[in-house]
């Protein structure tokens, strides 16, 4: 499969990516736990079927010490016993934040309240930014058929 566009070669994308990468770095440096960030990025990417991002976030999480068991169970986190209550709340918020078109009300008050039990305002802000950022990246990659899944090397985009 060939990409429809070479996103990294387009001058407009180059200008925008500078700012997007800065936003991504701000989220990465936030007080939201790194493991939670990778699990959420992976789950959002699974929902959106973004192979490039699934590859990237699986490998980044593994390089950061995440276990293969937990990575394999992200897609079925509701039935898995290996995630903390805080991680489960973040994954639930990420799913509802990603599937806003499927639920007319967007993120429910119950889901928000569960996340707020585990994360302070700064962490919730980072979580919201991360979900939005991942949805944007996933959609850009899927729309343009970026074919690089499988080739990502941890740390490549840092």
Q: What is the pLDDT of residues 113-146, one digit of tens each?
A: 999 999 999 999 999 999 999 999 999 989 988 8
Name 8's Cβ contacts closer than 8 Å, sequence gap at least 6: 14, 17
Q: What is the mean pLDDT of residues 53-64?
A: 93
CA dihedral 8, 11, 14, 20 (to 10 degrees): -110
Structural domain contains residue 9? no
CATH classification of the domain holding 60: 1.20.1290.10
Structural domain contains residue 15? no
Structural domain contains residue 20? no
Select the more confidently predicted residue: 151 or 24: 24
pLDDT above 90 coverage of the chain, percent: 69
pLDDT at 122: 97
- pTM of the prediction? 0.91
pLDDT at 158: 63
Summary mean pLDDT of the chain: 91
pLDDT at 15: 86
Structural domain contains residue 88? yes
- Structural domains counted in the chain: 1
What sign has the CA pseudo-torsion 119, 154, 16, 46? negative
Q: Which domain holds residue 77?
A: 32-143
pLDDT at 21: 84
pLDDT tens-digit map of 75-96: 999 999 999 999 999 999 999 9
CA gap 110, 98 in Å, rounded: 16
Structural domain contains residue 150? no
CB 16 within 8 A of CB 140: no
């Amino acid at each position: 499969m060939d990409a429809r566009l070479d996103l990294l070669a387009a001058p407009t994308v180059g200008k925008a990516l500078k700012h997007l990468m800065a936003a991504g770095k701000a989220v990465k440096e936030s007080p939201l736990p790194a493991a939670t960030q990778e699990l959420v990025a992976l789950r959002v990417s699974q929902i959106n079927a973004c192979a490039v991002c699934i590859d990237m976030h699986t490998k980044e999480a593994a390089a950061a010490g995440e276990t293969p068991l937990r990575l394999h169970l992200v897609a079925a986190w509701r039935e898995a016993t290996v995630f903390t209550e805080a991680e489960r709340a973040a994954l639930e918020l990420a799913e509802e934040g990603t599937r806003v078109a499927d639920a007319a009300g967007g993120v429910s008050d119950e889901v928000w309240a569960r996340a707020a039990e585990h994360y302070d305002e700064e962490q919730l802000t980072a979580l919201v930014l991360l979900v939005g950022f991942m949805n944007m990246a996933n959609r850009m990659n899927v729309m343009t058929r970026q074919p690089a899944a499988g080739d990502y090397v941890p740390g490549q985009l840092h």
